[in-house]
Chain A
Amino acid sequence: MWRLIFPLIVSAALLFINCNSPTGLKPVAGIEGNLYFQGTWPDSIQGAALVALDDLPTDLTQAASHLVNYSTPAPNGTDSTEYFLQLKPGTYFLIAMGLTMDPAVFAANLDSIIASGRLPVVLLDNDLIDIRAIYIIEDDQVEKIDDRTINF
Chain B
Amino acid sequence: MNCLKRSLFVIFLLSWLLQTTLIAQEFGAISGQVVDAATSNPLPGVNILLQNTFLGATTDPEGYFHIQNLKPGHYTMSVSMIGYHRETVADIPVAAAMDWKVLVALRQDVISSPQVIVTSSRKTQDILESPVSISVIGARQIAQRAATELVDILPSEPGISTVNGQLNIRGASGYTLGTGSRSLVLLDGIPMLGSAAGNVTWEIVPTSEIEQVEIVKAGGSALYGSSAMGGVLNIITRSGTYRPETRVRLKSGVYSQPGYDQWQWRDQQGLFYTAELSHSRSMGPHNGWFRIQRQHDDGYNELNWYDALNLTGKIKFNFGTRHSASLFANFLADNGGLSSQWRSAAHPFEAPAGLEHDRIDGTKFNINGMYSYIHSPKVVFKARGALYRVHWQDHGSNTDHSTEQKLYSDYQVSATWTDRLNTIAGLTLQRAGIDANIFGNHAGLTSAVYFLAQQQLSRRTIMTLGSRWEQYSVDGKFLARMITPQFALNFRPTRGLAFRSSVGWGFRVPTIAEMFTRTQLSIFKVEPNPDLGAETSISYEVGSTLILTPTGWVDAFKLDGALFKNFYKNLIEPTPDNSGIIHFMNITNAQIRGAEIGISTSLMNQLFNVTSSYTYLDPVALNSDGSIKDTLAYRYRHQWVSTVGSSWQEISGYVEYRYSSRIEKTQLFAEDPKTGQDPRVPIRVWSAGIGYSVKQWDVLLRAENLLQYYYVEVERNLGTERNFTLTLNYKF
Contacts and interface: CB of A to CB of B under 8 A. Distances in A.
Interface string A33-48: 0000000000000010
Contacts of A6: 607-608, 646
A3 B711 contact: no
A69 B711 CA distance: 22
A18 B648 contact: no
B677 A108 contact: no
A50 to B, nearest CB: 13
A21 interface: yes
Contact of B644 (A7, A72, A82, A107): A7
B657 A102 contact: no
A104 B344 contact: no
Interface string B253-265: 0000000101100
A105 interface: yes
B345 interface: yes
A102 B523 CA distance: 9
B525 interface: yes
Given A28-B677, A68-B674, A86 B345 contact: yes
A125 B129 CA distance: 72
A6 B577 CA distance: 57
Contact of B260 (A26, A75, A109): A26
Contacts of A107: 523-524, 580
A136 B608 CA distance: 55
Contacts of A84: 343-347
A51 to B, nearest CB: 12
Contact of B648 (A1, A22, A27, A32): A1
A69 to B, nearest CB: 4
Interface residues of B, number: 53
Given A14-B655, A18-B684, A26 B646 contact: no
A87 interface: yes
For this complex, into which size category does the number of interface residues on chain A fall?
35 or more
Given A1-B648, A7-B655, A105 B579 contact: yes
Contacts, number: 130
A142 B718 CA distance: 19
A19 B709 CA distance: 10
Contact of A72 (B523, B577, B608, B681): B523
Nearest to A21: B684
A25 B712 CA distance: 8
Contacts of B574: none
Interface in B613-655: 642, 644-648, 651, 653-655
Contact of B646 (A7, A22, A28, A102): A7
Nearest to A10: B644
Nearest to A88: B676
B686 A23 contact: no
Contacts of B710: 24-26
B653 A25 contact: no
A25 B681 contact: yes
B686 A25 contact: no
A14 B681 contact: no
Nearest to A19: B707
A23 B709 contact: yes
A18 B657 contact: yes
Interface string A41-72: 00000010000000000000000000011001
Interface string A103-131: 11111111000000000000000000000
Interface string A8-21: 00110011001101
B581 interface: yes
A4 B344 contact: no
A73 interface: yes
B676 A3 contact: no
B676 A15 contact: no
Contacts of A87: 675-676
Contacts of B696: none
A94 interface: no
B479 to A, nearest CB: 29
Nearest to A9: B644
Interface centre among B525, B644, B675, B712 (most CB of A within 10 A): B675
Interface in B343-374: 343-348, 352-353
A88 B675 CA distance: 6
A95 interface: no
B723 to A, nearest CB: 16
B225 interface: no
Contacts of B679: 25
B93 interface: no
B676 A28 contact: yes
Interface string A67-98: 01100110100000010111110000000000
B607 A3 contact: yes
A93 to B, nearest CB: 15
A119 B530 CA distance: 35
Contacts of B344: 30, 32, 84, 86
B645 A7 contact: yes
B576 interface: yes
B646 A3 contact: yes
Interface in B416-457: none
B675 A32 contact: no
25 contacts: A1-B648, A3-B647, A4-B653, A7-B609, A7-B645, A7-B655, A14-B644, A14-B655, A15-B707, A24-B684, A25-B710, A25-B711, A25-B712, A26-B710, A28-B677, A30-B345, A32-B344, A69-B675, A72-B523, A84-B343, A104-B576, A107-B524, A107-B580, A108-B579, A142-B262
Given A7-B607, A72-B522, 17 more contacts: A4-B653, A7-B644, A18-B657, A24-B684, A25-B677, A26-B260, A27-B260, A27-B263, A68-B674, A72-B523, A86-B345, A86-B677, A88-B676, A104-B576, A108-B577, A108-B580, A140-B262
Interface of B: 260, 262-263, 343-348, 352-353, 522-525, 576-581, 607-609, 642, 644-648, 651, 653-655, 657, 670, 672, 674-677, 679, 681-682, 684, 686, 688, 707, 709-712, 718
Interface of A: 1, 3-4, 6-7, 10-11, 14-15, 18-19, 21-30, 32, 47, 68-69, 72-73, 75, 82, 84-88, 102-110, 140, 142
